[in-house]
Amino acid sequence: MAVEVVYRSSRDLERLFMDKAEADRHDKMLELAELLSSVLSKAVPSLSEAQVEEAGIYMAKNRDVFARAFKNQPDALNELLSDAAE
């Protein structure tokens, strides 16, 4: 009988990972998404909870693109626009 080690995300209990580093990255992404959602909710109170959560997750998943855009490379956002068009 083989033993298999799996890792569970502490923020997403339904998701299992074969690699601890991958589980940690997922947790960090969800932590960032939660913080972004809080900021968006405060900045735009008319957004629904689902919209705020979806936007926060989207921004957290694409944090590298947003980081480049905020560091004087606004054209980096074109990557997200071209991905959405496809």
Confidence of residue 69 (pLDDT cuts 50, 70, 90): very high
Q: What is the DSSP string of the chain?
A: ------EE-SS-TT-EESSHHHHHHHHHHHHHHHHHHHHHHHH-TTS-HHHHHHHHHHHHHTHHHHHHHHTT-GGGGHHHHHHHH-
Task: Give the whole-angstrom CA distance, residue 51 versus residue 36.
Answer: 12
In terms of pLDDT, which residue wins out, 35 or 8?
35
Looking up tokens 């947003």, which residue turns up? 66
State the average pLDDT over residues 69-83: 91
> Would you state the pLDDT for residue 86?
63
Q: What domains are defined for the chain?
A: 7-85 (1.10.10.710)
3-state class of 83 per DSSP?
helix
